[in-house]
Amino acid sequence: MQFTESKRLFAKAQQIIPGGVNSPVRAFKSVQSEPVFITRAKGSKLYDVDGNCFIDYIGSWGPMILGHAEERVLHDVETALQSGTSFGTPTEGEVELADAICEAVSGVEMVRLVNSGSEASMAVMRLARGYTGREKIVKFEGCYHGSVDPLLIKAGSGATTLGIPDSPGVPASFTQHTLMAPFNDLNAVIELTETYPGEIAAIMVEPVAGNMGMIPPIHGFLQGLRDLCDREGILLVFDEVMTGFRVDFGGAQSLFQVMPDLSIFGKVIGGGLPVGAYGGRRVVMQEISPAGPIYQAGTLSGNPIAVTAGKTTLKILRDEQPYAELGRKTAALNDELLSAAKEKKIPLQVCSMGGMFGFFFSEKDVHNYQDALQCNTKHFTIFFKEVLRQGVYLAPSPFESLFLSTSHTDEDLEKTAEAFRKGLGAI
């Protein structure tokens, strides 16, 4: 494959956009390469400026569960466009999308729409603090909750270690109330509650970690958090931006049968357009302005075009329930990858859930962020570059999750499996 035009555009982009990209991982730095510039997408395929075609496994980082340019979604969006792009007023579509989320997710009784997962995370922190009268928030090493100052925290050296800002420009005072624990370590969280009794407002967690690679919860971890929060008067927050309507129609909380107090959504609920949401128990959500005193607002919140894309996407998912088939295809692809790795005696760990999957070049199971950091990133870089040359587009980082859509065919999977074998052969 040739990437001449992509290289030209990237060189130009670096002169006018910091790093040449509008989100860091897109720069391909983790794989020591340069990004591919995409012109269009359809179904399971991406097409770049050089005329190359790729089978896509990032799906715009998760939202495109129905594939790119799904005809029913496009039709409804095009119809909505005829009525205008933004009103700054309440619309019927907002009510319908909120209702669809509440109907699908048993732990959600009320919803507030926003514009991104990051915005939802900020609002949930404020809501949790305002509702409980407490200041501290527990998060887990390697879990990402958006580009939010108090949550941009490096890994600490112990369960009770206070966070250190992970970016210049974030004052240490912004993170002094953020506590960290290793993912899948319930005892570490218990220690935090004992160290800071009556001070913790919320525990925020990705029920399936997706931003340090895909790492599922170990048995009893989520229920343990639920029980702990009940004992200590802490709000349990599930960040389901990635897992919501992806691993199951009712999200990870439905899959694992653990109900949080508050949930954060994004990605799939926007059908590929910018939408975020947070919701949960009525008694908590009623504290949000104008029903209550805790302020949160957004000019473009509930944008009618984004809401339309989300409504149509959720309706299709509700009616067609593709999750079993997505799970079958994802597991089959992972099996092919693992089998090929065993043949070549390359240590590899794989994981899949619904239409979400991931892998680590590691000899041991990966249960948390520190485990993930031990994986062989050199192997991943070699593998990624060869797979890309074979026409398969993966996330350009060893610490990201991958996604299937309903548009991925068995032929796509066969071609991908062959690309995986060649990628492993290059190591």
Active site residues: 144, 239, 267
Pair 350, 402: CB distance under 8 Å: no
Pair 308, 77: CB distance under 8 Å: yes
- Residues facing residue 38 across a β-bridge: 48
Pair 217, 208: CB distance under 8 Å: yes
Structure-token pair, residue 236 = 């349990």
Q: What is the DSSP letter of 173?
A: G
Q: Please name which of 226, 238, 216, 249 lies closest in space to residue 368, comparing C-alpha atoms.
A: 216
Q: What is the DSSP letter of 209?
A: B
Phi, psi for residue 265 in degrees, rounded to 5: -130, 160
Phi, psi for residue 42 in degrees, rounded to 5: -155, 130
Pair 201, 349: CB distance under 8 Å: no
Instruction: Tell me whether residue 347 is exposed, middle or buried, using C-beta atoms within 10 angstroms of its C-beta: 0 to 12, 13 to 18, 19 or more.
Output: middle
Helix (H), strand (E) counts: the chain: 13, 14
Phi, psi for residue 141 in degrees, rounded to 5: -55, 130
Between CA 44 and CA 57 the distance in angstroms is 8
- Residues facing residue 162 across a β-bridge: 179
Phi, psi for residue 186 in degrees, rounded to 5: -65, -40
Between CA 93 and CA 303 the distance in angstroms is 9
Structure-token pair, residue 316 = 């299709």
Residue at token pair 């029980």: 227
Pair 115, 274: CB distance under 8 Å: yes
Amino acid occupying residue 363: E
